[in-house]
């Protein structure tokens, strides 16, 4: 699966600056908990603050998390910027990533006296949306989700024809992107999504998410069909009478959005967490 540009584009989007109406001072500290690689962006506050776990997609590393830390923390919400591959001590590739790693991030936050463990959210994008959804499905301590250019299903790892994610030592089944030299990458994803029988085994059980969801999709996504997949998520949750609010915003841009749309999207993410945590 050739999706190396996915999170690089999103990192460019998130790393661009945003003005903060009321900026709160914050400190950044490197965390030391089990095998986690991350930094905690902690706003100054006399009371416990909500916190968001932020991690990227197929680019790996810390860039996405750090950009979200700088974006969200000035609004009085702590951010745990997390890497889960392509850092020292972590896997080199997005293959067989254990969900227990992300669950350990929640465990860590429960040890931090400055944050409120009853108000934990998660933000990610693109392939990272898969981990964000899986985390919220498997752990009810996640109370709010925001994902950009998300998927409605689990996909196999990008470098091997095998699972990208595991849980309790077992592979989480994912769709395989079919070969097709004459097809665009988006059309290959759409072809894989047409197989309804396969779809049932890899679709996220999003009715288990314990809080509101924000979806942000790109109408001219050149990497994968984030708009149709977001629309499918809406249908799925509506059919199951999901008890929490779901917001979907789409923009007439490519996968990495645009400088014109970036300020509104960033503010939507901030507002979502201010409202739901």
Domain extents in the chain: 5-276
Domain 5-276 sits in which CATH superfamily? Alpha/Beta hydrolase fold, catalytic domain (3.40.50.1820)
Q: How many helices and strands in the chain, by DSSP H and E? A: 8, 11
pLDDT at 239 > cutoff 90: yes
Residue 259 DSSP one-character state = T
Kind and range of the H or E run holding 106? helix 99-109
Average pLDDT over all residues of the chain: 92
Find out whether 6 and 58 touch, Cβ atoms under 8 Å.
yes
Identify the H or E element spanning 241.
Answer: none
For residue 198, the model assigns a pLDDT of: 82
Give pLDDT, residue 160.
64
Does 5 have pLDDT greater than 60?
Answer: no
CA distance 156 to 173: 7
Q: What is d(CA 149, CA 151) in angstroms, rounded to the nearest whole number?
A: 7
């Amino acid at each position: 699966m050739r999706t190396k540009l996915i999170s690089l584009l999103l990192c460019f989007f998130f790393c661009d600056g945003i003005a903060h109406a009321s900026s709160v001072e914050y400190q950044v500290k490197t965390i030391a908990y089990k095998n986690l690689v991350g930094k905690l962006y902690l706003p100054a506050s006399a009371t416990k603050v909500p916190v968001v776990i932020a991690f990227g997609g197929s680019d790996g590393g810390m860039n996405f998390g750090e950009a979200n830390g700088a974006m969200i923390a000035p609004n009085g919400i702590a951010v745990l910027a997390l890497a889960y591959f392509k850092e020292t001590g972590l896997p080199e590739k997005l293959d067989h990533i254990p969900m227990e790693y992300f669950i350990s991030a929640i465990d860590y936050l429960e040890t931090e006296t400055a944050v409120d463990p009853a108000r934990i959210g998660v933000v990610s994008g693109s392939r990272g949306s898969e981990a964000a959804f899986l985390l919220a499905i498997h752990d009810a301590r996640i109370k709010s989700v925001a994902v950009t250019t998300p998927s409605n299903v689990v996909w196999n790892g990008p470098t091997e024809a095998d699972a990208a994610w595991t849980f309790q030592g077992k592979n989480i089944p994912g769709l395989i992107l079919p070969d097709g030299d004459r097809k665009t990458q988006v059309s290959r994803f759409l072809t894989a999504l047409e197989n309804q029988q396969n779809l049932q085994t890899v679709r996220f059980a999003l009715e288990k998410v314990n809080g509101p969801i924000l979806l942000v999709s790109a109408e001219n996504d050149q990497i994968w069909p984030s708009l149709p997949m977001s629309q499918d998520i809406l249908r799925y949750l509506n059919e199951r009478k999901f008890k929490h609010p779901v917001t979907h915003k789409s923009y007439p841009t490519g996968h990495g959005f645009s400088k014109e749309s970036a300020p509104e999207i960033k503010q939507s993410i901030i507002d979502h967490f201010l409202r739901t945590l």
